Amino acid sequence: MSSAASLLTPRPRRKPRIGLVAGGLGTYWPQFPGLLPQLEESSRYVSERFAAMDADVTDVGFISDAQEGAVAAERLRQSDCDLIVLFLTTYLTSSMVLPIAQRADAPVLVIDLQPTEKMDHATFDTGAWLAYCGQCPVPEVGNVFRRAGIPFRSVSGWLRQESAWERIGRWIDAAHIRAALRHARHGLMGHLYPGMLDVSTDLTLLPTTFGSHVEVLEFDDLRVRVDEVTDAEVAERMDLARQIFTLDDSVVEDDFAWGAKVSVGLDRLIDDFELDSLAYYHRGLNGEQHERLGAGMILGASLLTARGIPTTGEYELRTTVAQLATQVVGAGGSFCEIQALNFEDDVVEMGHDGPAHLAVSSRDPLLRGLGIYHGKRGWGVSVEFDVQAGPVTLLGLGQDQDGSLALVASEGTVVPGPLLAIGNTTSRVDFDRDPGLWVDEWSATGIGHHWSLSTGHRAETYRAAASLLGIDFRVV
């Protein structure tokens, strides 16, 4: 079997735009002639590190007074940044950086990275000490930002301290999420799954919270595209599926072919509406055309999800947003819910029928024929695999009484053990506590029925993303 990554073209996506500005107090330069060249050397190193990141960086250089700070603010405002990084190389006044935070219309991260681990006290004079004084203005800037109503974020460390750069890297990952959600086009096709009140989402909420767009679609938008798919295209898609999936004996050939045809139509729907995600549901009755389309979605939806375009059932718009967030930081993100608890092994069993993210699979994914879905009408083929063992982080998008959104996360570890073989993506997650207690705490966050299961322990990255997005963050 070939890996999905080599067979599926990933979705191109706008990179986050990072604004970078370094600064220090210009009064020092004539007093200590060797200081500015040393600080500029540190600034070049920081600029090189940012240039090597997966982002578009606008480096406006070095500022030495409030006037230069105002010029930098205007340049950064025009760059439409997802994150602005202020590198405090030595002491500077808060008046130099406040205009940047106020006018650039982007969240700000303050970094202060002294040249080495410590000063050489025996040889240092005042000028040498000032190169290590970047931490000095951090409390001042924090106070002024708070008084101005500007969220304050900082990373303190030394220039080549990799643990500090790991913390900075989390903020860059968070900027990836902010960029993706700011510019995302989310498709919503069909109608609400009957009775699931938690799934209902005010369609103005995503544009007003993140700046993204929700495109309301009909199943007929898919139907007309599926009707245009040729037999040759169906055969080609079935061949692709055979290279990615292992076909179980339960797969009915006609259902497989229908799923392949719907998959090609789905790709066209995504391209025509320039969608970054799609949530869908249609109940249907007696095998009418829309019910047949709904039953044929899972293969194509899983292939799209593997390409970085989360495509999920049950009309789960908010979970699709969470999957997009986990996807853009390289953590996959599979549609998930609680299946059962195992109190002998202290694990929570979770998964879902339907679309799954192939990147989290521990083995070649299986296509299994479904005679019946749980609680839903349908048939066809479904994707089944075991989630790879190791650290995982759940991420969902909860909603409160006032309508505001919150990112909700929980870190755990997938452990091996017996799993259901019913056409689901399944996993056994150890949260290092009684599984019943975890369910109680998780359910109290406002998470809703579904969430994204992503690889790695990434709660701090998701916390940073919530900060940049201006929404609450809750962790269990």
Phi and psi angles of residue 21, each rounded to the nearest 5 degrees, phi first: -140, 135
Is residue 384 assigned to a domain?
yes
Nearest to 109 by CA among 473, 467, 475, 472: 467
Single-letter amino acid, residue 79: S
* 191 and 55 part of one domain: no
**Beta strands at 56-63 and 17-23: parallel, antiparallel or unpaired:** parallel
| pLDDT reported for residue 375 | 46
* 301 and 261 part of one domain: yes
* 266 and 287 part of one domain: yes
* 445 and 392 part of one domain: yes
| pLDDT reported for residue 376 | 47
H helix intervals, 120-277: 126-130, 138-147, 162-183, 205-209, 219-227, 231-244, 253-272
| CA dist., res. 179 & res. 184, Å (int) | 8
Q: Which of 181, 216, 234 is a domain's end point?
A: 181
Q: Please, are residues 115 and 35 in contact by the beta-carbon 8 Å criterion?
A: no
- Kind plus residue range of the DSSP H or E element containing 111: strand 108-114
Supply the DSSP symbol for 405: E
* 191 and 164 part of one domain: no
* 220 and 176 part of one domain: no
Q: Which of 181, 199, 229 is a domain's end point?
A: 181
Is residue 2 assigned to a domain?
no
Is residue 1 assigned to a domain?
no
Domain at 318, CATH number: 3.20.14
User: Per-residue b/e over 238-277, b at no fewer than 16 CB within 10 Å?
Assistant: bebbeebbebeeebeeebbbbbbbbbbbbbbbbeebebbb
Whether the per-residue pLDDT at 227 is higher than 60: the answer is yes
| CA dist., res. 174 & res. 156, Å (int) | 18
Domain at 117, CATH number: 3.40.50.10940
Is residue 3 assigned to a domain?
no
| CA dist., res. 344 & res. 341, Å (int) | 9
Q: Please, are residues 393 and 456 in contact by the beta-carbon 8 Å criterion?
A: yes
Place 235 in a pLDDT band, splitting at 50, 70 and 90.
Answer: very high
Is residue 347 assigned to a domain?
yes
Q: What angle do CA 103, 105, 108 make, to 5 degrees?
A: 95
Where is average pLDDT lowest: 262-276, 295-309, 432-446? 295-309
Phi and psi angles of residue 372, each rounded to the nearest 5 degrees, phi first: -155, 140
Is residue 39 assigned to a domain?
yes
Whether the per-residue pLDDT at 152 is higher than 50: the answer is yes
* 317 and 461 part of one domain: yes
Mean of pLDDT values over 60-80: 94
Mean of pLDDT values over 298-312: 90
Place 2 in a pLDDT band, splitting at 50, 70 and 90.
Answer: very low
Mean of pLDDT values over 353-377: 63
Whether the per-residue pLDDT at 372 is higher than 60: the answer is no
* 156 and 243 part of one domain: no
- The side-by-side arrangement of strands in the sheet containing 154-158 is 56-63, 17-23, 83-88, 108-114, 154-158
Q: Model confidence over 318-342: pLDDT tens digits?
A: 999 999 999 999 998 888 899 899 9
Place 142 in a pLDDT band, splitting at 50, 70 and 90.
Answer: very high
Q: Which of 163, 181, 199 is a domain's end point?
A: 181
Where is average pLDDT lowest: 58-72, 135-149, 246-260, 378-392? 378-392
Phi and psi angles of residue 281, each rounded to the nearest 5 degrees, phi first: -170, 140
| pLDDT reported for residue 377 | 46
> Can you state the percent helix, strand and coil of the chain, rounding each to 5?
40, 25, 35
Burial (0-12, 13-18, 19+ Cβ within 10 Å), 456: middle
Q: What angle do CA 334, 339, 343 make, to 5 degrees?
A: 120
| pLDDT reported for residue 7 | 80
Q: How far does the chain reach from its first CA to its final CA, in angstroms?
A: 38
Domain total for the chain? 2
Tokens 């008084």 map to which residue? 147
Q: What percent of the chain has pLDDT over 70?
A: 93
* 68 and 102 part of one domain: yes
Mean of pLDDT values over 208-217: 95
Number of H helices, E strands in the chain: 17, 19
* 171 and 200 part of one domain: no
Average pLDDT, the chain: 89
Domain extent for 355: 184-475
Q: Which residue has the higher pLDDT, 291 or 394?
A: 394
Whether the per-residue pLDDT at 271 is higher than 90: the answer is yes
* 334 and 410 part of one domain: yes
| pLDDT reported for residue 135 | 93
Is residue 448 assigned to a domain?
yes
Q: Please, are residues 24 and 36 in contact by the beta-carbon 8 Å criterion?
A: yes
* 213 and 293 part of one domain: yes
Is residue 447 assigned to a domain?
yes
The beta strands (E) that lie in 24-99 are given as 56-63, 83-88
| pLDDT reported for residue 360 | 67
Helices 162-183 and 317-328 pack at an angle, to 10 degrees, of: 140
